[in-house]
Chains A and B, each alone.
Chain A
Amino acid sequence: MTKPGDKMTWKDVEIGSIVTEPGSASQYQTGDWRSQRPSLNRKKCIRCGICYIFCPEGCITQNAEGYFESNLFYCKGCGTCACECPTQAITMEQEE
């Protein structure tokens, strides 16, 4: 993709809307679908990784300190992590 999708004109569209760049879906920001964002309370978190396993978006990764963080570029705000967390360390907060 030479231009970001939302800047492409119809002339930039590849024939048959064929996608020639492998893995280009990773450039697609699903984070802007979100109306609530997960917020982690580190005091409650036991770093068990259950949120990481359950996130349907696969957007939670473990940082150097062992905490599990959500990548907000992709996080759709579904709340699954908050629901599954055994210690209620994650709360869903309204996006502005």
Chain B
Amino acid sequence: MAKRVGIEVSQAIAEAVKMANVDVVAAYPITPQTHIVEHLAQLVADGELDAAYIPVESEHSAMSACLGASAVGARTFTATAGQGLELMHEVLYVASSMRLPVVMTVANRALSAPLSVWCDHSDAMAIRDTGWIQIFAENGQEVIDEVLCAFRIAEDQRVLLPVIVYLDGFLLSHMIEPIYMPEQDEVDKFIPPYQHLLPLNPDKPVTMGAFAPPFIYSETKKAQEVNLTAAKEVILQCWDEFGNIFQRHYSPVDCYRAEDATVLLLTMGSFGETATVAIDKMRNECRNVGLVNLRLWRPFPFAEIRQAVSKAEVLIILDRALSFGGPAGPVCSEIKAALYNEDKKPKVISFVGGLGGRDITPDGFEQIINRGIEISQTGSKQEYEMYGVRE
């Protein structure tokens, strides 16, 4: 039976990665992710984890080293945040295009300038289209569970795609939470050995990352897109099986007191936890509000999102990133697009908040919901409003 232990989430990630028995970790330290790879380095140095730990000179090299390792069939892990993720950018596309199932945790961090080490989702939104499976975790337990699932999903031969598990920097990465850590034999059973279908192998040579002239490039991209979209089935199966074994259940979209709600708030990441307090308070005051938390960011869960909001009249979306000069927060834009052709759809109101580590309290969520309802009736001159900014 799993034990519940008080542990810093970053350290628990390292322990989970150890239980997944990774072969190669290539990483470069960056706040607020550093504790994850620091602890992994310690585990390798102490002989507790039999893995190659490659202390590279940059995140670009970290991801490149992960690609090489994954290509020969090694189970591979890395972690980064903010600027580090941006420095990896071009290599992220190569990982997904070459079908290399690297697993990465990203402790979300705002982007410079001005320099900020604190949480928002700008880093994640900037790499949205890199072809990785992307999952936003809401609390420490979920981070650990999703990291274990990530190896299994990524390495499934029907998938063979890299996976990012996002956890809010500091808000999750540096929290000490009570976490159920699984037993080693449970993890061994849950994550089968990794076998790439066409690994780099001198006895059976292949070329990875060859060039593609115009007559074939479109076909390669279509194949990649079909593959990523189809991965959703495998993700759902993995979460089902995880739920059966560990009794914790995950789905692409989480609803909280949302079934009969006429007004819905939609969040991602750790905001979801705090917002439930506001929802409970408003429900006690007989306000008909509910919460939707988007967990699976890529592949985007169109059907689940449409279903979750179909009965609401107002949908208020809180983005933790800006799309400068754009139509709304990036998550809101996508959800608007997903709903546009639906016959019955809620009015969608866009907020941006929590940038660079700015807290939003339960009171704040209540204000956002009330202001959202107001805008739904009066309209607004702005495409989106920034919550909590001093005017």
**B216 neighbours in A (Cβ, 8 Å):** 5-6, 8, 13
Q: Are A17 and B210 in contact (CB under 8 A)?
A: yes
Number of interface residues of A (CB under 8 A): 18
B163 to chain A, nearest CB (A): 16
**B282 neighbours in A (Cβ, 8 Å):** none
Q: Which of A9, A10, A11, A14 has the most CB of B within 10 A?
A: A10
Q: Are A18 and B226 in contact (CB under 8 A)?
A: no
Q: Are B223 and A19 in contact (CB under 8 A)?
A: no
**B208 neighbours in A (Cβ, 8 Å):** 16, 18-19
**Complex CA–CA separation, A81 to B99 (angstroms):** 42
**B226 neighbours in A (Cβ, 8 Å):** 10
Q: Are A10 and B207 in contact (CB under 8 A)?
A: no
**A8 neighbours in B (Cβ, 8 Å):** 216, 219
Within 8 A of A (CB), among B94-110: 97-100
**Complex CA–CA separation, A13 to B220 (angstroms):** 6
Q: Are A16 and B210 in contact (CB under 8 A)?
A: no
Decide if B337 is an interface residue (CB 8 Å cutoff): no
Q: Are A16 and B160 in contact (CB under 8 A)?
A: yes
Q: Are B219 and A10 in contact (CB under 8 A)?
A: yes
Decide if A26 is an interface residue (CB 8 Å cutoff): no
Interface string of B204-231 (1 = CB under 8 A from A): 0111111011011011101100110000
Q: Are A20 and B206 in contact (CB under 8 A)?
A: yes
Decide if B45 is an interface residue (CB 8 Å cutoff): no
**B209 neighbours in A (Cβ, 8 Å):** 17
Q: Quick one: closest A residue to B96, CB to CB?
A: A16
**Complex CA–CA separation, A11 to B213 (angstroms):** 17
Interface string of A20-55 (1 = CB under 8 A from B): 101001001000000000000000000000000000
Q: Among A9, A12, A16, point to the contact of B99 (Cβ < 8 A).
A: A16
**B2 neighbours in A (Cβ, 8 Å):** none
Decide if A64 is an interface residue (CB 8 Å cutoff): no
Given the known inter-chain contacts A5-B216, A13-B216, please indicate yes or no for A18 contacting B207, CB distance below 8 A: yes
Q: Are A14 and B198 in contact (CB under 8 A)?
A: yes
A-B contact count (CB 8 A): 56
B225 to chain A, nearest CB (A): 9
**B223 neighbours in A (Cβ, 8 Å):** 10-11, 13, 17
**B197 neighbours in A (Cβ, 8 Å):** 15
Given the known inter-chain contacts A6-B215, A6-B216, please indicate yes or no for A16 contacting B100, CB distance below 8 A: yes
**B97 neighbours in A (Cβ, 8 Å):** 16-17
Q: Are A10 and B222 in contact (CB under 8 A)?
A: yes
Within 8 A of A (CB), among B101-132: none
Q: Are B215 and A10 in contact (CB under 8 A)?
A: no
**Complex CA–CA separation, A25 to B210 (angstroms):** 10
**Complex CA–CA separation, A15 to B197 (angstroms):** 8
Q: Are B160 and A15 in contact (CB under 8 A)?
A: yes
Within 8 A of A (CB), among B78-107: 97-100
Q: Quick one: closest B residue to A11, CB to CB?
A: B223
**Complex CA–CA separation, A12 to B226 (angstroms):** 13
**Complex CA–CA separation, A38 to B197 (angstroms):** 45
Interface string of A55-93 (1 = CB under 8 A from B): 000000000000000000000000000000000000000
Q: Quick one: closest A residue to B100, CB to CB?
A: A16
Q: Quick one: closest B residue to A9, CB to CB?
A: B219
Q: Which of B100, B207, B210, B212 has the most CB of A within 10 A?
A: B207
**B160 neighbours in A (Cβ, 8 Å):** 15-16
Q: Among B100, B205, B213, B220, point to the contact of A17 (Cβ < 8 A).
A: B220
**Complex CA–CA separation, A13 to B100 (angstroms):** 16
**Complex CA–CA separation, A6 to B219 (angstroms):** 10
B201 to chain A, nearest CB (A): 11
**Complex CA–CA separation, A28 to B218 (angstroms):** 18
**Complex CA–CA separation, A42 to B329 (angstroms):** 70
Q: Among A5, A10, A20, point to the contact of B198 (Cβ < 8 A).
A: A20
Q: List 15 A-B contacts (CB under 8 A).
A: A11-B223, A12-B219, A13-B219, A15-B99, A15-B197, A16-B97, A16-B98, A16-B99, A16-B160, A17-B209, A17-B210, A19-B207, A19-B208, A19-B210, A25-B210
Which residues on A are within 8 Å of B, measured CB to CB?
5-6, 8-20, 22, 25, 28
Given A10-B219, A14-B198, A18-B198, 4 extra CB contacts under 8 A: A10-B218, A15-B160, A16-B100, A18-B99
Q: Which 8 A-B pairs have the closest CB atoms?
A: A16-B99, A10-B222, A19-B207, A10-B219, A16-B98, A6-B215, A10-B223, A13-B223
